[in-house]
């Protein structure tokens, strides 16, 4: 961890980079060096080989997260993103997720808006969001303050939390993992289609015709987002993916 002031749980977030196991050690060494040199955010971490129920893309996938102090500070987020890409990391879509969502148990794509507040297309430091209009909006110097204000105004205490209770003390109801057939998550869809998890994630978050997720019966409204496999399977066959 770099020598930085403590971060506020309500504002901290992280860029997420998904990696194959064969590349994770080299990538992690680069990030450690940059964090210690003060060239990224206050800290970073990487998933290990230990199985994680929130893991994505199968047993040989890792996620590396690079923290930023404040999700609202777009210039700092662009600086971190730009430095990561200068050393060859995060060349595909990169997603920025607030700790607010992570600490309430939100790990999957939430409908068309997605669970990540910011998203960066491949190869540039452009930042987009779907949290304002429901469609992809590029955040610029001119509209940055308005966009941040719009997102902040929609923030509310997580489910089952008192309005004065810290976000970090609140959790969503846990859904048995995985849910019963025919419900599947994005990792299972990727495995059944023999495609990279990142590809399916991009379809779910940005695709105009990818099947919509649904609510698993009898598990309540806080069960997360899941898909019915027969619907996804039909969609895939129509496009020659199966």
DSSP readout, 140-186? -TTTHHHHHHHHHHH--PPTT--TTS-GGG--PPPPPSSPSTTEE-H
User: What pTM value is reported for the model?
Assistant: 0.63
Question: Does residue 82 have a pLDDT over 90?
Answer: yes
CA distance 147 to 138: 10
pLDDT tens, 152-207? 876 644 433 333 434 333 333 334 445 677 888 777 888 889 888 778 877 877 66
What's the pLDDT score for residue 180? 73
Question: Does residue 238 have a pLDDT over 80?
Answer: yes
What's the pLDDT score for residue 174? 36
Return all residues near 143 (Cβ < 8 A) that are at least 6 apart: 137
| C-alpha 79, offset from chain centre | 19
pLDDT tens, 208-232? 688 888 777 665 544 556 889 999 9
Mean confidence (pLDDT) of the chain = 77
Tokens of 118: 């910011």
What's the pLDDT score for residue 67? 95
CA distance 169 to 7: 16
Tokens of 36: 């210690």
pLDDT tens, 100-126? 777 665 655 544 457 789 999 998 889
Residue carrying the six token digits 């297309």: 121
Is the pLDDT higher at 114 or at 62? Answer: 62
CA distance 149 to 49: 39
Q: pLDDT grade, residue 49 (50/70/90)?
A: low
What's the pLDDT score for residue 199? 81
CA distance 104 to 1: 24
The answer to whether residues 105 and 172 touch, using CB atoms and an 8 Å cutoff, is yes
How do beta strands 127-129 and 137-139 pair?
antiparallel
CA distance 224 to 171: 12
The answer to whether residues 214 and 190 touch, using CB atoms and an 8 Å cutoff, is no
What's the pLDDT score for residue 83? 96
CA distance 156 to 153: 8
H helix runs in the chain, sequence order = 21-36, 74-86, 99-102, 144-154, 186-193, 197-206, 229-238
What's the pLDDT score for residue 161? 37
> Region 39-62: what's the mean pLDDT?
72
CA distance 198 to 205: 10
Question: Does residue 86 have a pLDDT over 70?
Answer: yes
Give one word for 41, left, alpha or beta, with left for phi > 0 and alpha for psi -120 to 50: beta
């Amino acid at each position: 961890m770099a020598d930085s002031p403590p971060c506020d749980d309500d504002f901290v977030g992280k860029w997420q980079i998904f990696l194959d196991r064969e590349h994770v050690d080299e990538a992690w060494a680069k990030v450690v060096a940059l964090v210690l040199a003060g060239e990224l955010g206050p800290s970073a971490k990487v998933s290990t080989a230990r199985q994680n129920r929130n893991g994505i893309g199968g047993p040989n996938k890792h996620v590396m997260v690079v923290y930023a102090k404040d999700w609202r500070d777009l210039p700092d987020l662009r600086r971190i993103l730009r430095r990561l890409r200068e050393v060859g990391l995060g060349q595909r879509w990169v997603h920025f997720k607030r700790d607010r969502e992570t600490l309430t148990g939100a790990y999957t794509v939430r409908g068309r808006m997605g669970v990540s507040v910011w998203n960066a297309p491949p190869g540039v430091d452009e930042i987009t969001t779907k949290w304002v209009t429901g469609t992809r909006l590029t955040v610029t110097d001119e509209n940055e303050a308005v966009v941040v204000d719009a997102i902040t105004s929609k923030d509310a205490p997580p489910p089952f939390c008192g309005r004065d209770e810290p976000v970090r003390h609140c959790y969503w109801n846990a859904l048995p993992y995985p849910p019963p057939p025919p419900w599947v998550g994005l990792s299972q869809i990727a495995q059944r289609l023999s495609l990279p998890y990142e590809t399916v994630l991009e379809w779910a978050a940005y695709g105009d015709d990818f099947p919509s997720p649904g609510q698993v019966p009898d598990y309540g409204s806080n069960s997360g987002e899941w898909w019915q496999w027969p619907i996804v399977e039909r969609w895939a066959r129509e496009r020659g993916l199966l």
